[in-house]
């Protein structure tokens, strides 16, 4: 089961008890329906449980309603269930009761905060989705048009939730991208179990990111060591190509040979391998002297070359 299905399953179990909340829930879905009341379909869902529950709630208002399984419109392996009020007279009654001809939202249905929660819960069940938080934080509601998007934006804002809006395929989409906002919204809807799961995933993700960052950091340090060692070895090879090892000061010779043969050793490892043990900074100091000697040799050779050319 996807995270979205889990959230919806949890939300489906919450049944508003008070009449005003039950009306607000029905109102949200009827109002945001793409086709209703002109056409018989109120909405379609892959969630049979939600379709049945919604049909029951409509039936409690005296409406004859049916849920069909539309097997022609399979989404993956799941059939889509349209909730249908086929009788035109009943559609007109519902439309009048819920004042669906009033543009925007009719305030009495979304005045109390309990009703706003019931409204959003049902609207999210019918027209919303949430992405698996393992992948990304994203929750959205298809708001149909910009008027509804704006009104829902304001309703949510009053509850401390700030949706963002975008357009997709001619529909206005309300969405949340921040995990805290998604948590707040789902908590407001009553999906506390899902919120706990989301928080767990977030903690795991943070730990994983931290581990990755540390590993990256270590890799970067390792690269630094390797590249420093590489250039030290290059200097030493340069010296050996043009001069004998005895050209170097006596106390540098052993270290130079050790370095050129072991590019992968860290300073600390070098310091323990040398016959007269040195501190790490002692090794560093001597390697710097070797680098200076190589630089001097390069300069001298360049100068000589210049002289011969003249
Ligand atoms: Zn209420």
pLDDT of amino acid 40 = 87
Distance 22 CA to ligand 1 centre (A): 7
Distance 119 CA to ligand 1 centre (A): 9
Distance 211 CA to ligand 1 centre (A): 46
Protein residues placing their CB within 5 Å of the ion ligand 1: 20-21, 112, 114-115
Q: pTM for the complete prediction?
A: 0.68
Distance 114 CA to ligand 1 centre (A): 4
String of DSSP letters for 206-264: HHHHHHHHHHHHHHHHHHHHHHHHHHHHHHHHHHHHHS-GGGS-HHHHHHHHHHHH-TT
pLDDT of amino acid 310 = 54
Distance 52 CA to ligand 1 centre (A): 22
Distance 264 CA to ligand 1 centre (A): 70
Distance 107 CA to ligand 1 centre (A): 12
pLDDT of amino acid 75 = 60
pLDDT of amino acid 296 = 92
pLDDT of amino acid 34 = 87
List domains and CATH numbers for the chain.
Answer: 3-190 (3.10.28.10), 224-309 (no CATH)
Distance 89 CA to ligand 1 centre (A): 28
pLDDT of amino acid 63 = 80
pLDDT of amino acid 278 = 86
Distance 190 CA to ligand 1 centre (A): 14
Distance 18 CA to ligand 1 centre (A): 6
Q: What is the mean pLDDT of residues 212-241?
A: 83
Confidence tier at 193 by pLDDT (50, 70, 90)? very high
Asked whether residue 69 carries a pLDDT value surpassing 90, the answer given is no
Distance 109 CA to ligand 1 centre (A): 8
Q: pLDDT digits over 244-275, tens only?
A: 889 999 999 999 999 988 888 888 888 888 88
Which of residues 219 and 2 earns the better pLDDT score? 2
Distance 64 CA to ligand 1 centre (A): 24
Q: Quick count: other Cβ atoms within 10 Å of Cβ 87?
A: 13
What distance, in Å, lies between the first and last C-alpha atoms of the chain?
82
Which of residues 205 and 125 earns the better pLDDT score? 125
Distance 115 CA to ligand 1 centre (A): 4
Cα–Cα nearest to 97, from 180, 26, 21: 26
Strands across the sheet with 171-176, in order?
128-130, 139-142, 171-176, 164-168
Confidence tier at 48 by pLDDT (50, 70, 90)? confident
* Buried/exposed code over 18-52 (b: 16+ C-beta within 10 A; e: otherwise): eeebbbbbbbbbbbbbeebbeebbbbbbbbeebbe
């Amino acid at each position: 089961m996807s995270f979205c299905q889990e959230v919806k399953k949890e939300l489906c179990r919450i049944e508003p008890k008070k009449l005003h909340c039950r009306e607000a829930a029905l109102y949200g879905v009827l109002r945001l329906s793409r086709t209703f009341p002109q056409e018989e379909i109120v909405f379609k869902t892959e969630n049979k449980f939600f379709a049945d529950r919604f049909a029951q709630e409509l039936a409690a208002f005296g409406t004859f309603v049916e849920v069909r399984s539309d097997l022609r419109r399979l989404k993956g392996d799941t059939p889509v269930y349209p909730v249908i009020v086929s009788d035109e007279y009943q559609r007109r009654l519902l439309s009048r009761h819920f004042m669906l001809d009033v543009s925007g939202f009719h305030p009495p249905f979304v005045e109390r905060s309990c009703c706003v929660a019931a409204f959003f819960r049902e609207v999210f069940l019918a027209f919303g989705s949430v992405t698996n938080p393992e992948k990304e934080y994203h929750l959205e509601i298809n708001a149909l048009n910009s008027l509804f998007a704006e009104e829902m934006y304001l309703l949510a804002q009053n509850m401390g939730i700030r949706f963002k809006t975008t357009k997709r395929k001619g529909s206005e989409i309300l969405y949340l991208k921040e995990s805290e906002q998604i948590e707040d919204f789902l908590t407001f809807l009553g999906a506390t179990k899902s919120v706990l799961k989301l928080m767990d995933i977030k903690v795991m993700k943070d730990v994983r990111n931290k581990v990755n960052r540390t590993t990256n950091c270590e890799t970067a340090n390792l690269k630094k060591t390797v590249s420093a060692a590489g250039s030290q070895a290059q200097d030493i090879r340069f010296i050996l190509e043009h001069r004998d090892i005895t050209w170097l000061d006596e106390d540098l010779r052993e270290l130079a040979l050790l370095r050129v043969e072991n590019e992968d050793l860290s300073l600390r490892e070098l310091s323990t391998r040398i016959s007269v043990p040195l501190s790490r900074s002692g090794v560093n100091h001597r390697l710097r002297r070797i680098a200076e000697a190589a630089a001097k040799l390069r300069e001298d050779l360049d100068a000589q070359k210049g002289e011969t050319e003249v």
